[in-house]
A and B are shown apart, each in its own frame.
Chain A
Amino acid sequence: MAKYFDVIIVGAGPAGSLAALKLARAGLNVCLVERGQYPGAKNMFGGLLHNTPVLNEMLPDFWERAPLERHVYKKVLAFMTPESAVSLTFENENFEQPPYNGHTVFRPAFDSWLAAEAVREGALLLCDCTAEDIIKKDGRVAGVTVKGREGTLRGNIVIAADGVLSFMAEKAGLRKDFKAKNMGVGIKLLLGLPEATINERFHLVRDEGADISFVGTTGGMGGGGFLYTNRESISVGMVVHLDSLKASGKAPYEVLDELLQHPQVRKLVKGAVPLEYSAHLIPEGGFTAMPQVYTDGMMVAGDAAGLCYTNGINLEGINLSMTSGVLAAETAIKALEVGDYSARTLSLYKKKLDESFIIKDMKTFKNAAGMMHLERLSRTYPQVLAGILEKLYRVEGMPRSKLLRLARKEALKEVGLKNLIADGIKIGRALL
Chain B
Amino acid sequence: MNIENLQQLTQFQIDEQAHIIVDKEICKTCDHRACVQSCPANCYTFDEETKLLSVVYETCLECGTCYIICDKGALDWSYPRGGYGVCFRLT
Contact = CB atoms under 8 A, between A and B. Distances in A.
A2 B62 CA distance: 28
A167 interface: yes
A180 B68 contact: yes
A188 B91 contact: yes
B54 to A, nearest CB: 17
Interface string B50-91: 000000000001111101110000000011111111111111
Given A42-B86, A279-B40, A130 B91 contact: no
B82 A44 contact: no
Contacts of B61: 277-280
Contact of B63 (A35, A246, A279): A279
A281 interface: yes
A167 B13 CA distance: 22
Contacts of B62: 42
A107 B90 CA distance: 7
B79 A43 contact: no
Nearest to B80: A130
A112 to B, nearest CB: 11
B84 to A, nearest CB: 7
A132 B63 CA distance: 17
Nearest to A165: B64
A250 interface: yes
B68 A277 contact: no
A193 interface: no
Contacts, number: 133
Contacts of A149: 82-83
A40 interface: yes
B82 A41 contact: no
B82 A35 contact: yes
Contact of A277 (B6, B32, B82): B6
A185 to B, nearest CB: 5
A35 B83 CA distance: 6
B45 interface: no
Contact of B81 (A106, A130, A275, A276): A130
B83 A128 contact: yes
Dominant SS among interface residues on chain B: loop
Contacts of B65: 185, 242, 245, 279, 281
Interface in A146-195: 146-149, 164-165, 167, 178, 180, 183, 185, 187-190
B79 A35 contact: yes
B78 A167 contact: yes
A425 B64 CA distance: 34
A164 B91 CA distance: 18
Nearest to A33: B82
Contacts of A107: 88, 91
A178 to B, nearest CB: 5
B67 A165 contact: yes
Interface string A25-49: 0000000001111001111100000
Interface string B1-28: 1010010011001000000000000000
A108 interface: yes
A127 interface: yes
B68 A183 contact: yes
A61 B89 CA distance: 25
A164 B64 contact: yes
Contacts of A129: 82
Interface string B25-57: 000000010100110111000000000000000
Contacts of B79: 35, 130, 165, 167
B41 A279 contact: yes
A278 B10 contact: yes
A245 B70 CA distance: 12
Contacts of B13: 37
A303 to B, nearest CB: 11
> Ordered nearest first, which 5 A-B pairs have the shortest CB separation?
A148-B82, A128-B83, A279-B40, A128-B82, A279-B63
24 contacts: A36-B82, A36-B83, A37-B87, A106-B91, A108-B90, A109-B90, A127-B83, A129-B82, A130-B82, A147-B82, A148-B83, A149-B83, A165-B67, A185-B63, A187-B40, A242-B38, A242-B68, A242-B69, A249-B37, A250-B37, A275-B90, A277-B1, A277-B3, A279-B61
Given A178-B68, A249-B34, 20 more contacts: A35-B83, A37-B13, A130-B82, A132-B78, A148-B81, A165-B79, A183-B68, A242-B68, A246-B69, A250-B37, A251-B38, A253-B3, A256-B1, A260-B1, A274-B9, A276-B10, A277-B10, A277-B61, A278-B86, A281-B63
Interface of A: 34-37, 40-44, 106-109, 127-130, 132, 146-149, 164-165, 167, 178, 180, 183, 185, 187-190, 233, 235, 242, 245-246, 249-253, 256-257, 260, 274-281
